[in-house]
Amino acid sequence: MRYTHTLLAVLAMSVAAQAQDLGSLLDTIGVQRTDGDFNGFISPMTNPVFFEDPRNLTEARIIFANQNVPGALGGGNAQLYAMQLRAALTEDLSFIATKDGFIVSDNPLINDGWADLSAGLKYNLYEDYEYQEILSAGVTYEIPLGSGQALQGNGDGEFHVFLTGGKELLPGMHLLAATGFRLPVDNRAESTSMYLSTHLDQQIGETGFYVFTEANYYHWLAAGKALPLPVEGGDLFNLGSSGVSDNNIITGAIGVKYKLTDTSELGFAWEAPLTGRQDILASRATVDLILRY
């Protein structure tokens, strides 16, 4: 037992030393620490590529999502293994890398392969520490470097412009909301859409546990011309389908998060469509682990 305790102590010291070295490296290259004045908030989980936390963060967010595909589209599931990165460059400006990873699927229409890459900037427009209010805007560009067999890599890329905000409504209760537009460079290869996402959470007493609910509204403004289909790919795919103009989908989610520390979160969310239209989402379970600096 003594040797076990010694080994654990050595491992803990090693992890702490590595974290300190990483922190020193981030300081050296000018990356700032996460603003701690909004530590009561937690990050949203659904619509993970586009529902951006309004805070100025330096973090790594590890994501696993298991999405069940409707039987009409072959059934099965598609899994995403990804890691988002964010880096606070100034008090108001941050770099965000919001999409990457690898897709594993047993659906006959989606094969295994790499996801596209998205990155951009987020800028804080307004914040009030006393009233716990914050508003930010940003833009990302999705680079079509993913695998075609995984329904990635199509078109000439896609811009995402967004507005995101948050407010503490009551002690331990927080509201987040974001809206944005997905604007493909080649609107024949990919569809044009917008979304509205909301998140409401409540901390459980003085513990690190939170329960939350989220909702996402997706509206397709213009169809592409790549595929003669009446369905689109939701938040992870852009199929460029020709029969989706004016389509609408609403999804709802419930979940729980646990703050391991002030700089780390572990969360689970379960999401399903609330509308008759599903497209490629029958349901989705998402797990994320956030490590902040």
Q: How many CB atoms within 10 Å of residue 21?
A: 10
Residue 56 tokens read as 């100025």
DSSP structure string for 198-253: EEEEEE-TTSSEEEEEEEEEEEEEE--SSB--S---TTT----BSS-TT-EEEEEE
Does domain 32-292 fall under CATH 2.40.160.40? My reply is: yes
pLDDT band for position 29 (cuts 50, 70, 90): confident
User: What are the sequence ranges of the domains in the chain?
Assistant: 1-30, 32-292
Q: Which amino acid type is present at position 204?
A: I
Residue 122's closest CA among 192, 51, 60? 51
Residue 44's closest CA among 192, 251, 277? 251
Looking at every residue in the chain, the average pLDDT score rounds to: 94
What pLDDT, on the 0 to 100 scale, is given for residue 18? 56
* SS3 label, residue 180: strand
Residue-wise pLDDT for 104-145, tens only, equals: 999 999 999 999 999 999 999 999 999 999 999 999 999 999
* Cα→Cα distances 291→34, 55, 255, Å: 11, 15, 19
pLDDT band for position 28 (cuts 50, 70, 90): confident
Give the Cα separation of 87 and 30 in Å (integer).
10
Give the Cα separation of 94 and 88 in Å (integer).
4
Q: Which of 26-30, 36-40, 170-174, 276-280 has the lowest mean pLDDT?
A: 26-30
Residue-wise pLDDT for 47-70, tens only, equals: 999 999 999 999 999 999 999 999
If residue 257 lies in a helix (H) or strand (E), which one and from where to where? strand 248-261
Residues 52/96, Cβ–Cβ less than 8 Å: yes
| pLDDT surpasses 80 at 15 | no
What pLDDT, on the 0 to 100 scale, is given for residue 4? 46
Instruction: State the DSSP code for 116.
Output: P
Q: What is the pTM of this model?
A: 0.90
